[in-house]
Amino acid sequence: MKKTALITGASSGIGLELAKIHASKGDNLVLVARSTNKLEELKNDFEKNHGISVYIIGKDLSLPNAAAEVYEELKGQNIAIDYLINNAGFGDSGLFFDSNWKKQEQMINLNITALSHFTRLFIKDMVVRKSGKIMNIASTASFQPGPTMAVYCASKAYVLSFSEAVNNEVKEFGVTVTALCPGATTSGFQAAASLEGSNLFEGKKLPTAQEVAKFGYKAMMKGKAVAIHGFMNTLMANSSRFSPRFIVVKIARMILEKKN
């Protein structure tokens, strides 16, 4: 019997690459993103080339009750979810006191609230079935405060801590939760977060979204609690635990700040 993967933020970047992987494995898909037109294209492509069923939902997940609406729609369609991938999220760059509060609020709603609500809704069914896997997209930003990206880094720290805790709660029921922590990746993220020209991206040879997705998929299937992509990212993430926090914050700002 085919399994079904639900992927949020599935129209581009890591989410799209994860959808491709699941399609290649013969998994049915539920794809959620704001761009319905893009989802229609993906549905046609995946169903034609992989012989799977693809159900699409156009939804702005930063809006209240969006996760519940998706859950209820799938219940009405009798679609059970075996793999939940909470990929939808975005960042923003700039000094917090000078930021657009509406954008910061939407970031919190999407990166934290929607992700948590999706997890709560679908994990209960997984526990009852005693099977299921969840992957929450965190970041190497999860491991330290990030001046000029204060809310984004804090939201990803939440994702990491939340995922590790819930994984511990449910693993005895045959369910796993994986926090995937990519570093800077070649995708549309840097443009959306206004990070072009920052030390994080400028002049760097970055991994592709496809490479990160393959790594994340393998980690999820193995049931790993935390998966940090790349040796240097792993080194940096762990070294922050042994350095004075004021130094960690200063280094983070140097990396995230744009070059003059």
Query: Is 152 one of the catalytic residues?
Result: yes
Task: Show the CA angle centred on residue 226, arms to residues 220 and 229, nearest 5°.
Answer: 85
Q: Is the dihedral of CA 209, 252, 157, 231 positive or negative?
A: positive
Q: Which residues contact 115 (CB under 8 A, 6 or more apart)?
A: 86, 88, 89, 136, 159, 162
Query: How far is residue 131's CA from residue 160's CA, in Å, rounded to a whole number?
Result: 22
Report DSSP state, residue 112: I
Query: How far is residue 192's CA from residue 90's CA, in Å, rounded to a whole number?
Result: 7
Six token digits for residue 233: 């990212």
Among the listed residues 55, 71, 83, 152, the single catalytic one is: 152
Supply the residues annotated as catalytic. 152
